[in-house]
Every structure is written in C-alpha cells, then in structure tokens.
Structure 1
Amino acid sequence: MYDLLVVGAGPYGLSIASHAAAAGLNLRLFGRPMASWRDHMPRGMFLKSEPWASNLSDPYGRWRLDVYCAQHGLTARHAEPIPVEAFASYGLWFARHAVPEVDERMVARVASGPGGFTAVTEDGEVVHARTVALAVGVMPFVEVPQALRGLHPALVTHSSDHSDLDRFRGRDVTVIGGGQAALETAALLAEQGTRVRVLARADGLRWNDVPPPWERPWWQSVRSPHSGLGPGWRNWFYAERPGLFRHLPEPTRARIAATALGPAGAWWVRDRVEGAVELLPGHEVTAACAVPGGVRLDIVSRTGAPRTLETEHVIAATGFRARCDRLGLLSDELRGSLAALPDGSPAVGRDFESSQPGLFLAGLVTASGFGPAMRFVQGATFTASTLVGGVRSRLRGTPTSGTIPVPGGSSRAWSPAPARR
C-alpha cells in the first residue's frame, strides 16, 4: 500500500512527485514524462511563457530551467522564447534528477479501494494507494466545436493531435481559433508551403506586447510588476497568490477563469502570421460536412452574413475544457462522487483535495478554483507544495480543508482517514 499514487508525469505530476519524495512519502509515479510536450506539439513551436516562469518545482529549487540551459549550452533570458523541444528535454532532465523512478505505463482506471484507492495499469497490474494525485494535463479535455464533431479525423483534427505538420505540405488547411496554438500552427503551416487561413470568432486578433525590460526604473516596476503570467498587478495576483484567488466569490472565479489571459498571440509570432496567412476574424462555423476533396464549412460573420468555404482539412485550435465527466480514467462511481462547479470542473479544497477524501487534483482542472496560473507551468510550484501538504495531513488523519459541496448541493465534512501505522 503506497502513501501516494501520482498519475501523470508532466510538469505538475513531476513537481508533485519531487515534493512528495522529499517529504518522505512512499509513492509511485505513472506516465510518460512530458508526453504532451513531446507528442502533441509540432516541431518548431516555442514556449509562450517566460523562461524564468517555466520552472518545474523541486523543494530546494535546484533543478530550474536556467540551470538546465546553462549545462546544455542554451540560453534562458527574459523575453527570449524557449523552443518546445528544449523545454521537453528539460522536463526529462528534471525527471532523472528530481523524482523517483517514473513508471512510463499509463494508468487505465482508478477506483475506490480498501483503505484508499485501487489503480489498474494499461497492462493489468493492480496498485493500491492511500491517496491519489491526478495530474493528467490537458489531453483528456480536448474541446472541438460542436459543428465539427463527428467528421472523420482525416478531415478534422485538434491542434494537439499533431507533433508533425509535414502531412499538410502543399495542401489547403483552415485553422479555427484565435489563440497562440492557432496562430503559431498557422505560421508553421505557412512557412512550409501550406495554403492556410485562420478563422476566429473575435472581431480582431489580439497580440501580446513585447514584455518590458527586466531591469527598469523602480517606478515602472511599481506601476506594472513582472509576473509569470505577464506584467501588471492583476496578472501578478493570478500568478503569485492562487491561495487568495480561491477566496474570491465563486461567480468571480468562474468569470476570471473563463476570460482572463484570453486568446492572443505572442508578440514574436505576429510578423510570421500577418501578411503570410489569410485571416478571417469575426466568423464562426455553424455547420460542416464532408465533400469530395475535403470539408465544406458554413460560416457566419458577426453581422450575420453567411458564407461557405471549402478546405482540405480543418485544425481546431480551440483549447481544452476541464470537466468532471471527461476524467475517464476514474471509475463511474468515483467520478460521480465528485462535486462540480457550475462550469463542470471539479470543486477542490484549499489543498487541492476533491470532495472524494484522498483524491487530489492538479493542473488545468483546478483553474476555476485557483485561477489562471493553473493553466501554465507557473502554477506547478504552488500546487506541488500545497497539495503534498494536504496529502500529508490526510495520511495523518488530520485533513485541514473543512467541507466541500457534494453532488446534490449539500456539504459533507471530510472525515479523517485512518492514521498511518
């Protein structure tokens, strides 16, 4: 019986495992390290976050991105984006140095079990643990517009389906979305000779500004401080105070989680898109169907004007939506026991424990509780230290998170788990 089972080996899972190991917990860590970054992002992409805001977390701060870069002849400077391939390699380096052995098998199912939880790996091994931390990243939560669902993957894919865009050389592709994934995907497609257009609902595309210099007059820093989510006091609050964010009224948290740091392209991709990619802002797909040679899209403008276009392939760069019902690796009983917020994401206590005692959640799935930082690597440090503290309290039989709503609208006091022996 393990103290903790960590499911997922991306930035959050690896960080949690590092903190848990340092705390002396008997744990198992399952998942392919940095899988999303290695398998679901095309070559040539860059990390949008600043290098200094992209560290995985170990308790002593020894295994930072700048340390990795210094050892491998790379640079990690303010306002200089890091290639995704380099960041994925950094994560593997972190895994070798900062965490116990990673079991690269996938966990197929997690269910309640005697004294805690039972997990079954993809090849049938059964593992028992008192607590579980789900750090499953974004892939379970892929969001595709309703109008595009049901079309064959040869015609419609999500941006996260591609680690290589070579198959689209010389073809005609329509990218749906106005965020970084859409715009950088479109830039890469155009640069390899693909005929590409971007279709976005917003009236105009948004671009992030070049970040202010790291060294600047004190009064500029006071007016607009640096933060891991961008300059400004609001972003600083989201990045540095997720524990306080949780105390905002639920409607406020939901609104911020849904709208803050909305779709926008990085400053360094703008020149690669404008003038090179056909841009159709202010349009939305209302229907789609297969036609000889590709897909016909029925679209409508913000003014209500209809239009039809045909394309060989559609890439939906339309993000991810974290919902309880998409946590498919949880048993039906366990998934059904989770209290959900109005947006469908699971409710979590102040130490990331769900309404199911002993089941902890991390990453995007907690953004409605702890704020926009949970959508980025920036949130891994706060999550890892806080979550492991909650695990230790649960194992001691003295959980500190009070009560949380359960399905049906009531509240349940969390009962202590049996003390460790």
Structure 2
Amino acid sequence: MDDLVVVGAGPYGLSIAAHAAGAGLDVRLLGRPMASWRDHMPDGMYLKSEPWSSNLSAPDGGHTLADYCAGRGLRAEHGTPLPIGTFSSYGMWFARHAAPEVEEVTVTEVTPEGDGFRVRTAEGPQLLARTVALAVGVMPFVHLPEALRGLPPGHCSHSSGHRELVRFAGQEVAVLGAGQAALETAALLAEQGARPCLIARRPRLNWNTVPQPLSRPALRAVRDPHSGLGTGWRSWAWSELPWAVRGLPARSRERIAATALGPAGAWWLRERFERRVPVLLGHELHRAVAEGGRTRLDLTTRSGAPVVVDTAHVIAATGFVPDLARLELLAAGLRSSLATVGRTGTPELGPGFESSWPGLFFAGLLTAPSFGPSMRFVHGAGFTAGRLVRGVRKRLGAGGPLSGVRTIVAPRRAAAGSPGRRGRICGE
C-alpha cells in the first residue's frame, strides 16, 4: 500500500511528487506529464508569467526553469516572453530528473477504502493508498457559455481544444472572451490566415504594462514590489501570503478568488492584437443558432440594441470554472460529502491542503477559493508542494494502521509504459 498517490502530472503534481519522494514517502505519480500544456495550447503561444516566477518546485530548490534554459542556450530572462513549447519541455525535463517516475495511466475512480483509498485506472491494476492528492489541472473544468452548449459539433469549441489553429485559415472565427487566452488566440488566428473577431461583455480591454526592471532604486521597489504574480503590494500579498488568505472568512476568499487578477492581456501581445483583430466590446451573447454550416450569434449591446454576427466557427476562450461536481473521477458519495467554500463548489481545505475527508488532498485551481489566486498559476506550485507534503506526513503520522483494508494485496506490476519505479529521485 502506497503512502501517497498523486493524480495529475502537471506542474503541481510533479512538484508534489518531487517533495514527497524527497521526504521519503512511498509515492506514485499518475497521469500524462504536462498534458494540458502539451496537448491543449496552440503552437506560437507564450508564457504570460515571468520565467523566474514559473518554476516547478523541487525540495532542494534546484531544477528551475533557468537551469533548464541555461543548459540549452535558451533565454529565460525577465521581460522576455518564453514560448509555451519551451516551458512544456522544461516540465518534461523536470519529470525525468526531479520527480518519481510518471506512470502514464488514466485514473477513472478514487473511492474510499477503509481508512485509505482505492484508485482505479483504465490501463492497469487498482492501487491502494493511505492518502491521495488530486492535482488534476484545469481541463475537467472547461467552461462553455450556456448559449453555445446546444450547437452541433463543429460549430463551436473551447480555446483549450486546439493544438493548432491553421485549419481556420480563410474562415471567419468569432472569439469570445477578454483575457489572455482570448486575445492571444485571436492574434494567432489572424497571423495564420483566419479572419477573427473578438466579442466580449466587458466595455474595454485591459492590458498589462511593461514589467519594471528587477533592479530598481530602493524607494521604487518598496512602493511597487515585484512578486510572482506581478508588481504592487496587492499582487505581492496574493503571491507570497497564501496562508494568510486562507485565514480570511469564506465570503472574502470567495470574492478574492472570483475578482483578483482579472482578465488582461500581456503587454507584448497588444500591438500584434490591435493591428489585426476587430473587436465588439460591451456585447452580451444570449443565443447561438446553427444555420447550415455557419453559426449565427445574437448579441445585445449595453444599451439593449440587438446585433447579429454570422461566422464560420466560434471559439470560446471563456476559461475554467472549478467545481467538485465536475470531478467525475472522485466517487460521487465522497464528492458530495466534502465541505466546500461558500457557494463555490470547491473544497474547504486545512493548512496542509487536506479536505474534510481525512487523507484526501487537493492542489491547483480547485484550491484558489481556499488559498487565493496564486493557485491559478504555476507560481503557486512551490507553496502547495511543501505544505501539502507536510500535511500528508502529519496525516500518516496521526492515522496509525489502516482499518478495514485487506493486508493481502496483489504484487505490484508496472503500469503500461512504466517500469514501475516509485518514490525515488532520478540520479539517486
């Protein structure tokens, strides 16, 4: 029986597994490494965060993005956008050198078993674990506006559904949203020969400013400090004090998670976007109808005037809405029993990221209403990994021997594509 099974092998899952292995836990890491970055972001996208704030977390503080880039002659510099492909490759390198072996299996169910958990996969034997950490990323929580949900296949898609956009060359594409994903998707569409139009409810677009130099006069640095989530004291608080956010009332945390660090485009994208993409701002979508091979969008302006847009395809860059009800791999009875933060549908968590069900831990987007907006970014992985593993160790120390779980377990077999090595760092 394993001490810890980590479900998900993105930045959070890899970091948690690295810390768990470094702490001597018997840990297994399940999932496709860096899946959302490798499979769900178009070629040509760039990392919005600064490279120095986009490190995965190893217990020794090493294996940083700068380490990876330095060994390959790549630039990882403040104020210089980094290609998503480079970041994905960095994550794969981290998986090989700083984390336990990733078992590329699909987890289909996590269910209570005595004082622990049974983890079922589509490819191999079941696992028994004393504790489980769910680091499932954002893909279970893809959000489509209700008006689009009745359209036939092929008429609309989510921005996360495209690895490449060249197939839209020559076509009109309506892009819904006002955040980085919408703005960059629209710019890439235009650059690859499509005819995009951006539609947003917001009356104006927000753009981040050019980052200030890392080295500045002391007074300026104190007045407007750098942080992993941007400059300014508010961003610094979200970035550096997740533990303090957790101490706030649930209603405050809920509001912070919903409003802090709202939609905005990266400074380096603005010129590319404004040169080539027409926009309809302050327009609300209230109906979408398929007409032959095209789609009609019925919009309303802020003054109530109707506007109709006829397009070949709609891409909804409308983000992700974390909700336990959509986490289908978690057994329904367990899901419904978890304490949640206000009306968010996200788990209420203790200081070690443990849910109200003993031994069940969460990481990533689902934890933002507990620990604040840094959990929406790679930057939050370092805080999460250290705290969560300490929480696991505390739970294992307090739990004693498992009751109600059979002690005769089938011999371990390697999952498909994995030699079955667990809980050890490469190079030990």
- Is the TM value for this pair above 0.5? yes
Structure 1 segment 1-400 matched on structure 2, within 5 A? 1-341=1-341, 342-397=343-398
CA contact (8 A) 2:5 2:133 kept: yes
Q: What's the RMSD between the two structures over aligned residues?
A: 1.2
Task: State whether residues 45 and 84 of structure 1, in contact with CA within 8 Å, keep that contact through their aligned partners in structure 2.
Answer: yes
Deviations 1:299-350 (A, max 9, x none): 0111111111110100000000001101110111111121122111111111
Question: For 1:308, what is the secondary structure of its paired residue?
Answer: strand
Letter in 2 for 1:136: V
- Separation in 1, partners of 2:385, 2:307: 48
The 3-state SS of whatever aligns with 1:265 is: coil
Counterpart code for 2:228 = G
CA distance in structure 2 between the aligned counterparts of 1:89 and 1:233, rounded to whole angstroms: 32
Instruction: For residue 167 of structure 1, report the CA deviation from its aligned partner.
Output: 1.3
Please say if residues 115 and 402 of structure 2, whose CA atoms lie closer than 8 Å, have aligned partners that are also in contact.
no
What letter matches 2:300 in structure 1? V
**AA paired with 1:100?**
P
Instruction: Give the superposition deviation at 1:96.
Output: 0.4
Q: CA deviation at 1:417?
A: 5.4
Identity of aligned residues (%): 60
Counterpart residue number, 1:401: none
What displacement does 1:75 show? 0.7
Q: What SS does the corresponding residue of 1:351 show, helix, strand or coil?
A: coil
Q: Give the equivalent residue in structure 2 for 1:408.
A: none
Deviation at 1:124, TM superposition (A): 4.4
Distance across 2 between alignment mates of 1:102 and 1:110: 18
8 Å CA contact 2:177–2:198 kept in 1: the answer is yes
CA distance in 2, matches of 1:46, 1:417: 47
Partner amino acid for 2:183? L
CA distance in 1, matches of 2:263, 2:240: 21
How many aligned positions are there? Answer: 403
C-alpha distance in structure 1 between counterparts of 2:27 and 2:274, whole Å? 49
- Contact 2:151 2:289 (C-alpha < 8 Å) held by counterparts: yes
Query: What whole-Å deviation, never above 9, does each CA across 1:236-293 have from its counterpart, x for those lacking one?
Result: 0100010011111211111111011101100000001113101111111100010123
Shift of 1:419: 7.5
Contact 1:52 1:78 in 2 (8 A): yes
CA contact 1:159–1:315 (8 Å) conserved in 2: yes
Q: Which runs of 5+ in 1 are unaligned?
A: 398-415
> What SS class does the counterpart of residue 274 from structure 1 fall into?
helix
Distance 1:385 1:365 in 2: 17
Stretches of structure 2 lacking an aligned partner (at least 5 in a row)? 408-428
How far apart are the structure 2 equivalents of 1:255 and 1:386? 24
SS of 1:133's equivalent?
strand
Counterpart contact for 1:396–1:418, Cα < 8 Å = no
Q: CA deviation at 1:150?
A: 2.3
SS where residue 308 of structure 2 aligns? Answer: strand
Query: Aligned equivalents of 1:76 and 1:124: distance in 2?
Result: 39
Cα offsets for 1:188-237 (capped at 9, x unmatched): 00001100000011000110001111111111000000001000001001
Q: Which has the higher contact order (CA 8 A, sep 6+)?
A: 2
> Residues 395 and 419 of structure 1 are in contact (CA less than 8 Å); yes or no, is this contact kept in structure 2?
no
Contact 2:166 2:193 in 1 (8 A): no
- Runs (4+) of structure 1 exceeding 2 A deviation are 416-421
Tell me which residue corresponds to 1:405: none
Quick one: which amino acid aligns to residue 238 of structure 1? W
Q: Alpha-carbon deviation of 1:394? A: 0.3
Change (3 A) 1:291 1:417: farther
8 Å contact from structure 1 (residues 177, 316) kept in 2? yes
